[in-house]
Amino acid sequence: MIPSWLAPNPRATRSMTFGREQQFVVNPNGIPELCEDLKQCPRHVPTPLLSLPALAGRLGVGEIRVKDESQRFGFGAFKALGGVIAVYNTLSGAVGDAYHSSVTFADLLTGDYDEITKRFVFSTASSGNHGRSVAAGAKLFGNRCVVFLPKFTSAEKEAAIRARGAEVVRIDGDYDTAVAECKRVSAEKGWTIISDTSWEGYDSAPRSVMRGYTVLAHEALVQWGEAPTHVFVQAGVGGLAAAVIGYLWAVLPTRPVFVVVEPASADCWFQSNLAGHAVPASGNADTAMGGLACREISPITWPVVGLATDWFMTIEEDEVMPARRLLAHPLDGDPAIASGPSGCAGMAGFCRVAADASAFAALKLDRRSRVLLINSEGNLGEAPA
C-alpha cells in the first residue's frame, strides 16, 4: 500500500507535452546564452554535479547525482541565481524601454545608464536566501534594497543580507506575513518588488527568478551527459521545482519521474495536488527547513509543477538531520557535501522512499535508475551535521 505521505498526481499523464502555458512559466530558450552572460558576474562558476556511487548501491539505484548549490557564487545557495537575474532583467528592461536598445550585464555595470537604473529601489520578502540574492543584485548594480524578514530567519542570514548593503525590516510573523507587509510598504513607497512568489497580477519578477534557477538544471544536464530517470526536488512556493521540472520536461525526449518534497507542516503543494487547485498547507509551516516554510504555492507555477510532478511527498522534521549527516559523512569513496536543512530535503525525501518498499516500487525505482537531487543550500550558520 502506498504510504499516506506519498501521493500520485492524477493530472500528470505521460503523453502531456510542454506547451505555451508551460513556456510562459519557464522558457528553455536562451538558457545557454544566459549561462555565458553570467560569466561576467564576479565569482560565478557552474556548481559541481557530484556522484554518490556507494550510496546508490546501498539504496538500490543505479546512480545518484547531487547538484551542489552550496557552492553557487560563493553564496551558499541556488537562490543566488534568481534575485540577481531578476534585478538585472528589471534594470535592462527599463533601459531598453528608455533607449529602445538591449543592454547586457556588462553594459549595466559600466554605470552609463545610471540615470535610468538608479531610480529603482528594490524590495522583497524572504526567509533569508532570496533576500540575500536580491541584495547582492542590487549591490552589484548600485541600487537601494529593502528586505522583509519573518521572525524565524536566523541572525546569520540577516547579517549576510545586511553585509550586501540592504536594509532589513523584521516582521513579527511568518513568511506569508512578511510577503503581505512587503507588498503594503512597497506600494506606499513606489518600490519595485522582486519576489520569488507570484500573486494575482504579479508574475514578471518571479518568472525572471525562475529563469535564473533553470541555469542549474541546464548545467546538470551538460555535466551529466545523460538524462536522469528520477528527480527529487524540494519545494517552498514551487519556484525551484518549476524551473527544474519545466526545463527538463522541455528539453528531454522523455520526461523523468518528478517527485516534489515538502516538510509535513508546510505541505502546500501536497495539499494542492490532492485538491486539484491551490490550497494552503495543512500545518503552520513551523519547520527547521526555513527555505521551505511556505503556507501557499506560487500560483504561476501550476502549469508546470501542478501538471508535470508525478508524485508529491512530505518529510518529517526528524528526517532532516540523518540526511544532512549522510551527505556530510558519506559512505566509502563518496564525496562529502555540506548541506543545510532545506538543502538536504530532496535527499531526505529520497531516503524516505528508499526505506519503504511500496513507495520504492510505486516510483518504479530500481538498479537502473539515475536519480538527480539538488543540495539547494549549504551549511549557512546551522549546527553542523
Ligand X SMILES: Cc1ncc(COP(=O)(O)O)c(C=O)c1O
Contact positions with ligand X (CB under 6 A) in 130-169: 130
Nearest distance from C-beta of residue 362 to ligand X, angstroms: 24
Contact positions with ligand X (CB under 6 A) in 178-197: 196
Nearest distance from C-beta of residue 341 to ligand X, angstroms: 8
Site string for ligand X, 351-370 (x = CB under 6 A): --------------------
CB 48 within 8 Å of CB 321: no
Report the chain's C-alpha Rg in angstroms: 20
Which residue among 216, 235, 259, 281 contacts ligand X (CB under 6 A)?
235
Per rule CB under 6 A, is residue 378 in the interface with ligand X? Answer: no
- Closest CB to ligand X among residues 312, 360: 312
Nearest distance from C-beta of residue 345 to ligand X, angstroms: 7
Contact positions with ligand X (CB under 6 A) in 111-130: 127, 129-130
The stretch among 42-50, 131-139, 231-239, 275-283 that binds ligand X (CB under 6 A) is 231-239
For the chain, helix (H) and strand (E) counts, in that order, are: 16, 11
Per rule CB under 6 A, is residue 79 in the interface with ligand X? Answer: yes
Mind spelling out the 3-state secondary structure of 82-132?
HHHHHHHHHHHHHHHHHHCCCCCHHHHHCCCCHHHHCCCEEEEECCCHHHH
Nearest distance from C-beta of residue 323 to ligand X, angstroms: 13
Nearest distance from C-beta of residue 130 to ligand X, angstroms: 5
Per rule CB under 6 A, is residue 380 in the interface with ligand X? Answer: no
Nearest distance from C-beta of residue 160 to ligand X, angstroms: 12
- Closest CB to ligand X among residues 130, 207: 130
Per rule CB under 6 A, is residue 240 in the interface with ligand X? Answer: yes
Helix residue ranges, H only, the chain: 20-25, 31-38, 53-59, 80-99, 105-109, 114-117, 129-141, 155-163, 175-189, 204-224, 239-251, 268-275, 307-308, 320-328, 345-354, 357-362
What one-letter code names the amino acid at 130?
H
> Among 109, 93, 107, 100, which residue's Cα sits nearest to residue 141?
109
Nearest distance from C-beta of residue 62 to ligand X, angstroms: 26
CA 128 to chain centre: 13
Nearest distance from C-beta of residue 127 to ligand X, angstroms: 5
User: Which residue's CB atom is positioned nearest to ligand X?
Assistant: 291
- Closest CB to ligand X among residues 28, 239: 239
- Closest CB to ligand X among residues 130, 295: 130
C-alpha cell at 208: 525572471
- Closest CB to ligand X among residues 214, 376: 376
H-helix or E-strand containing 234? strand 230-234
Between CA 110 and CA 91 the distance in angstroms is 13
Per rule CB under 6 A, is residue 214 in the interface with ligand X? Answer: no
User: Which residue pairs from 90-95 have beta carbons closer than 8 angstroms and sit at least 24 positions apart in sequence?
Assistant: 90/120, 90/122, 90/192, 90/194, 90/205, 90/208, 91/116, 91/117, 91/120, 91/141, 91/143, 94/120
Nearest distance from C-beta of residue 298 to ligand X, angstroms: 7
Between CA 266 and CA 320 the distance in angstroms is 14
- Closest CB to ligand X among residues 203, 377: 377
Per rule CB under 6 A, is residue 234 in the interface with ligand X? Answer: yes
Contact positions with ligand X (CB under 6 A) in 277-296: 291-292, 294
> Among 200, 151, 161, which residue's Cα sits nearest to residue 299?
200
CB 287 within 8 Å of CB 268: no
Nearest distance from C-beta of residue 175 to ligand X, angstroms: 9
CA distances from 250 to 111, 175, 210, 240, 259 (A): 37, 31, 14, 15, 17
Residues that bind ligand X (CB under 6 A): 77, 79, 127, 129-130, 196, 234-241, 291-292, 294, 342-343, 376-377
